[in-house]
Structure 1
Amino acid sequence: MSWKDFPKVELHLHLEGAAPPAFVRGLAQEKGINLDRVFDERGNYAFRDFTHFLQVYEAATQVLKTPEDYRRLTLAVLEQCAENGVIYAETFLSPDFCGGRDVIAWKEYLHAMKEAAQQAEAQMGITLRGIVTCIRHFGPDKARETAICAAETAGGWITGFGMGGDEGLGRQGDFAWAFDCAREAGLRLTTHAGEFGGPESIRQAVQDLKVERIGHGVRAIEDPALVDILAETGVVLEVCPGSNVALGLYPSYGAHPIARLREAGVKVTVSTDDPPFFNTTMTREYEELERAFRWGIEDFTALNAIAIDAAFCDEGTRTGIKEKLEQAA
């Protein structure tokens, strides 16, 4: 069967990282910005490894300079998501890229993105919520500024706070002030860990930042005691198999630990991370997981149920999305 129209919930999606290459190239042409080194000869994003990926990612974002750019970006990304059956998504937003962590400027960008999300919901039936994200390799001080932006706009559409970036720099606990600030503002918490940082980074995230979700978290499989902790505490993993394979963490979907983690009782979900960078979509993720593990409707229905229960949204929104999922079951 085709999984394209199967309703899906996605929790781990970077807004800039989901920008279609054609959209970025078009914006670059409008602004006279040279992005030759960002794309390969076929017009796709080109990078060698994770560190280079981060560099290409940040180079591509330089075309996004105004709230209007982000309004257009949000619509382009949600159109792609909706085409692949996503009915609810949460996206990571970085005030670092949206106004340089200035609260007043951030609010202008945020208004533009919310406006686009409302338009997409009305026209495409997809619901979006935002998770403000600090950038780990920018350091703890800038993370504090990002957390203040998050706290000043918490509630309603902004529902969470997280951290992305280079896991090789610093420890999770170095960013505790930012996470405490976000928590006090009522935001739900997640952070990238256990991708390139190894199992210990997951322990740090749970113990030092007290997050309820982990972005990736797949390296937990290397530590059976940690797997038990995740299963017992119910910490949810935002797993992005295609991303992990594309960046060389695992050689194939079949070698990916998502099925073993699930069998061990860990709550796992499926997302795309930065889909055009990794040549994936939510449809492709489902297709590859079906092929690798023989997962079917019952499996993906269960994964969606975990995802919507773990979503950082209000109960009214959660109930509405659950009704849509149940109608399609």
Structure 2
Amino acid sequence: MTGIPKVELHLHLEGAAPPAFIRGLAQEKGVNLDGVFNEDGTYRFEDFVGFLRTYEAATAVLTGPEEFRRLTEAVLEQSAAEGVIYTEAFISPNFCGGGDLGAWKEYVAAMKEAADAAERDSGIIMRGVVTCIRHEGPDAAKPDALCAAETMGDFVTGWGMGGDESVGTQGDYAYSFDMAREAGLRLTTHAGEWGGAASVWQAVRDLRVERIGHGVQCIEDPALVGHLAEHGIVLEVCPGSNVALGVFPEWSKHPIETLRGKGVRVTVSTDDPPFFHTTLRREYDMLADTFGWDEEVVRAVNIDAAKAAFCDDATREKLLKKLEPQDA
């Protein structure tokens, strides 16, 4: 299964930063990151709130377009080594210029430069999904959506929302999602990681997204599971992240296989891989060990991911061609 090309739809760019990269950047800048790392050099946190705190502290060293160019380069090198042929990374104006459109354009240009180089050198394709940060509130999401709309093109192709699901409701952010939709961006949002099945219902009804980030707590509501399956709404599932953060106590309790069995289109991603001590290969290895996923299932899941990708049709056809069995 390691030889099957992989399509990843749920990856936070900053959250995928190798710890060594962040430590090196901090040393270059003379920034003190005490409390961010464990003794073995991995990221330190105990729960979801602690994770967010560490995440924001670590990303504080990323202060300009050049750092984001280098970050994109490092992340794509890491992903390509895992057999990823296409990745969508969540990128946020909040971290890239603080919502200022002029600054944001410089950051996007830097990330695109690194993505273009990676595609030339290793064949991996990257697209950017711009996200607002939920716990910053609906008003803060509006300039982020404007940034996304103004830079939409062959690199920026999607819009979504991450952050603390306990803040407000999905519908509070409808204005920003409508703005992104009108600009032609494809839509996703984090829901049903912590907010229960109700937050997934809000996402599909109030924001009318075509994909859901995580979404796994939909399993609490059979009617919702049926709705997702019937309407082809795709889940960006990150099992290792869910187990590491305690959404589910262990891999055997994760609902991804149950959801797949009920006709829900599930995909597999790593979320913030170095934080959760995972890689995309490890995710599939664990799914094989836990649920018996074989090459046929892995290929089918990645084909579904390619079909759900926020890319143009020509890119999609290229991905699907790569996902065909070698002996076909």
Q: Compared with structure 1, are the counterparts of its residues 84 and 105 closer, same or farther at alpha carbon in structure 2 (3 Å cutoff)?
A: same
Matched, 1:308 2:306: yes
Matched, 1:65 2:63: yes
Task: Report the equivalent of 2:267.
Answer: 269
Structure 1 residues 98-113: aligned runs within 5 Å: 98-113=96-111
Letter of the structure 2 residue corresponding to residue 202 of structure 1: V
Aligned to 1:309, what secondary structure does the other structure show? helix
Task: Report the equivalent of 2:174.
Answer: 176
Task: Report the equivalent of 1:206.
Answer: 204
2:152 pairs, out of 148, 151, 154, with 154
Deviation at 1:125, TM superposition (A): 1.1
Same amino acid, percent of matched pairs:
65
Alpha-carbon contact 2:4-2:299 (below 8 Å) kept: no
Task: Report the equivalent of 2:46.
Answer: 48
| Structure 2: distance between partners of 1:240 and 1:229 | 21
| Structure 2: distance between partners of 1:296 and 1:4 | 11
| Structure 1: distance between partners of 2:308 and 2:240 | 21
Letter of the structure 1 residue corresponding to residue 255 of structure 2: P
Deviation at 1:328, TM superposition (A): 4.1
Structure 1 residues 108-147: aligned runs within 5 Å: 108-147=106-145
Q: Compared with structure 1, are the counterparts of its residues 328 and 18 closer, same or farther at alpha carbon in structure 2 (3 Å cutoff)?
A: farther
2:323 pairs, out of 322, 325, 328, with 325
Deviation at 1:323, TM superposition (A): 1.1
Deviation at 1:6, TM superposition (A): 2.4
Alpha-carbon contact 2:91-2:129 (below 8 Å) kept: yes
Structure 1 residues 26-41: aligned runs within 5 Å: 26-41=24-39
Q: 1:27-65 deviations in whole A, cap 9, x for unaligned?
A: 000000011211001000010100110111011110000
Q: Give TM-score scaled by structure 2 length.
A: 0.99
2:10 pairs, out of 1, 9, 12, with 12
| Structure 2: distance between partners of 1:158 and 1:277 | 25
| Structure 2: distance between partners of 1:4 and 1:56 | 31
Alpha-carbon contact 2:267-2:302 (below 8 Å) kept: yes
| Structure 1: distance between partners of 2:299 and 2:221 | 28
Deviation at 1:322, TM superposition (A): 1.0
Deviation at 1:4, TM superposition (A): 3.6
Aligned to 2:235, what secondary structure does the other structure show? strand
| Structure 2: distance between partners of 1:325 and 1:221 | 29
| Structure 2: distance between partners of 1:220 and 1:121 | 36
Alpha-carbon contact 1:98-1:109 (below 8 Å) kept: yes
Deviation at 1:288, TM superposition (A): 0.2
Letter of the structure 2 residue corresponding to residue 281 of structure 1: T
Alpha-carbon contact 2:4-2:323 (below 8 Å) kept: no
Letter of the structure 2 residue corresponding to residue 28 of structure 1: A
Alpha-carbon contact 1:5-1:84 (below 8 Å) kept: no
| Structure 2: distance between partners of 1:327 and 1:296 | 13
Q: 1:286-315 deviations in whole A, cap 9, x for unaligned?
A: 100000001110000110111000000000
| Structure 2: distance between partners of 1:327 and 1:200 | 39
Task: Report the equivalent of 1:217.
Answer: 215
Gaps of 5+ in 2: none
| Structure 1: distance between partners of 2:297 and 2:34 | 42
Alpha-carbon contact 1:7-1:328 (below 8 Å) kept: no
Letter of the structure 2 residue corresponding to residue 300 of structure 1: V
Alpha-carbon contact 1:199-1:223 (below 8 Å) kept: yes
Deviation at 1:180, TM superposition (A): 0.2
Stretch moving more, 149-158 or 200-209: 149-158
Q: 1:199-242 deviations in whole A, cap 9, x for unaligned?
A: 00000000000000000000000111110111111100000000
Aligned to 2:324, what secondary structure does the other structure show? helix
Q: 1:253-288 deviations in whole A, cap 9, x for unaligned?
A: 111000000001101000000000000000000100
- Provide runs of 4+ in structure 1 moved above 3 Å: none
Aligned to 1:320, what secondary structure does the other structure show? helix
Task: Report the equivalent of 2:92.
Answer: 94
Letter of the structure 2 residue corresponding to residue 106 of structure 1: W
- The root-mean-square deviation of aligned C-alpha atoms, in Å, is 0.8
Q: Give TM-score scaled by structure 1 length.
A: 0.98
Letter of the structure 2 residue corresponding to residue 159 of structure 1: T
Aligned to 1:37, what secondary structure does the other structure show? coil
Alpha-carbon contact 2:240-2:283 (below 8 Å) kept: yes
Task: Report the equivalent of 1:297.
Answer: 295
| Structure 1: distance between partners of 2:73 and 2:152 | 22
1:74 pairs, out of 58, 72, 75, with 72
| Structure 1: distance between partners of 2:66 and 2:305 | 31
